[in-house]
Chains A and B, each alone.
Chain A
């Protein structure tokens, strides 16, 4: 089972009535135990991909399998492995949170072993669960959806913008919970346009735009490959050409402070600057947000 991909999409495509392709030729393989961020702007095809992967939408071309179970031929077995939070989370408003949660638990073959822990972590107590869902705030509905998705401890967790509606404390708690699940070997597929949380949680990112997969890369690799901002403070005048390395941007000098950017491995730069005995040096790690923006700009060009 360990060799089987958690999610495998091959040539996945989806067109709607107008003929426009919402998704086109997506090949993506997510290993078991991996945490992958699925990034893209609104309308890029993230939700369409997820819905095709769960059989909610029928792909026009290609196939998807979850833990080896093809969605077209073995959907029930595939879905028995999944916990899913939709982006447009719909719940029956006339019933209580408790009833909805228990109903969703009964629809899944795996027992809801994590239910109480998750309720405690997300601060959904008995009084909250006794309320009808129509009286819930957006955040409470989202928390209920998260508990419903994760309560079975599913091997594959698929989340479509799961932190929307959550306050910052709950967002952090969600990331902790997902991190814990991932450390126990569960696969986390995390669609978002909040780059910070993908940056914090994921090992790998897949980026989509216009229904096409732009790239799939390790987060660390992306960061290493991209631009970092460097600020160096010397105690004297220093000519920037002394420490210049390949990949360095234009240096802006303010007094004894040098500002510049550098891409690629900063090792050579650090050893050259180190030899000049700087008083202080700050290297800001490339944020995924910068990487993301740069990639989209490149693609748009």
Chain B
């Protein structure tokens, strides 16, 4: 298992570090920009925007330090970087089946469960690295920008963990899709579709009354970074849903892979 893990990490190392640096730089720059923000002007500007635009920040007060920094955790750039990491890592096993790498590995005394388990651990490690580098950028901003001083570092950590869980879940869903696919491209397609539908459903539920009851069906619905940053607690339902999606999708991917054929 260690061999597969080491290979998976080594081949994704460059991509992981680059995505992490990009996320760190983005969160740092956004944090840095808060020093030039006039709270009242931003607040009145946001209030003047139509609800459909306000929904992008999930209704948080982005003029406040917690709301401003919290909105970066659900900014499309942050979400795209995390999604790219999760989906690329989640599709890696399907790509290995497609290219014959899985056949080469699994013709050795290695179980499918150990093989996919190692790929899952590699995915989690890649997401942790990217999230840590992103967190480092946000942390530097919080400690250097006086206006962000009200944000507790502990709350920042608490905000990053559900973000990580959210994308571990998306990666696990991609792996599950990959367990049914013969190509890595299809796994990427399904993983991306899952993330986009989750995002769209969460957004629609906020701006369209008819869709509101469907909001909880989206995994994105359960992640509210501004609330966590401001309040310092993560609701139990958030933990339950985010951990549940990751565990159920991961277990299902293992179960399907243990019975699937792994030839290109």
Residues of A at the B interface (CB closer than 8 Å) are 51, 54-58, 75-77, 79-80, 82, 84, 86, 88-95, 99-100, 103-104, 106-109, 145, 148
Residues of B within 8 A of A91 (CB): 101, 104
Q: Is B104 a contact of A86 with CB atoms below 8 Å?
A: yes
Q: Is A90 a contact of B263 with CB atoms below 8 Å?
A: no
Contact of B109 among A88, A89, A107 (CB under 8 A): A107
Binds A, one of B6-14, B37-45, B200-208: B6-14
Contact of A88 among B4, B6, B110, B264 (CB under 8 A): B264
Q: Is A90 a contact of B99 with CB atoms below 8 Å?
A: yes
Chain B interface size, as a band, is 20 to 34
* Interface residues as binary, B77-121 with A (CB distance below 8 Å gives 1, 0 otherwise): 000000000000000000010011111111111110000000000
- CA A226 – CA B189 in complex, angstroms? 56
* Known A58-B259, A94-B14, A145-B104; 11 more pairs at CB < 8 Å: A51-B263, A55-B106, A56-B262, A76-B109, A88-B100, A88-B264, A90-B96, A90-B264, A107-B3, A107-B4, A107-B110
Top-9 shortest CB links A-B: A90-B100, A94-B11, A107-B108, A90-B99, A90-B101, A88-B100, A84-B107, A79-B109, A76-B109
- Closest CB in chain B relative to A227 CB, distance in Å: 39
Contacts between the two chains (Cβ within 8 Å), count: 76
- In this assembly, does B261 line the interface, its C-beta being within 8 Å of a C-beta of chain A? yes
Contact of A76 with B111 at beta-carbon distance under 8 Å, contacts A56-B106, A90-B104, A99-B10 already known: yes
Residues of B within 8 A of A107 (CB): 3-4, 105, 108-110
Residues of B within 8 A of A88 (CB): 100, 103, 264
Residues of B within 8 A of A80 (CB): 109
- CA A261 – CA B95 in complex, angstroms? 54
DSSP majority for the A interface?
A: loop
Contact of B11 among A57, A82, A84, A95 (CB under 8 A): A95
Residues of B at the A interface (CB closer than 8 Å) are 3-4, 6-7, 10-12, 14, 96, 99-111, 259, 261-264
Q: Is B10 a contact of A86 with CB atoms below 8 Å?
A: no
- Closest CB in chain B relative to A279 CB, distance in Å: 57
Contact of A104 with B263 at beta-carbon distance under 8 Å, contacts A95-B11, A99-B10, A109-B109 already known: no
Closest to B98 in A: A90
Most chain A CB neighbours (cut-off 10 Å) among B3, B102, B104, B105: B104
Closest to B105 in A: A107
Contact of A104 with B104 at beta-carbon distance under 8 Å, contacts A90-B96, A109-B109 already known: yes
- Closest CB in chain A relative to B234 CB, distance in Å: 36
Contact of A86 with B107 at beta-carbon distance under 8 Å, contacts A91-B101, A103-B6 already known: yes
Contact of A103 with B100 at beta-carbon distance under 8 Å, contacts A84-B107, A88-B264, A90-B264 already known: no
Contact of A56 with B103 at beta-carbon distance under 8 Å, contacts A51-B263, A108-B108 already known: yes
Q: Can you list 17 contacts pairing A with B, beta carbon distance less than 8 Å?
A: A51-B263, A56-B107, A57-B263, A58-B261, A76-B111, A90-B104, A91-B101, A92-B101, A94-B10, A95-B7, A95-B11, A99-B7, A99-B10, A103-B3, A104-B105, A107-B3, A108-B109
- CA A92 – CA B118 in complex, angstroms? 15
- CA A80 – CA B108 in complex, angstroms? 7
Q: Is B104 a contact of A89 with CB atoms below 8 Å?
A: yes
- Closest CB in chain A relative to B123 CB, distance in Å: 16
- CA A71 – CA B103 in complex, angstroms? 15
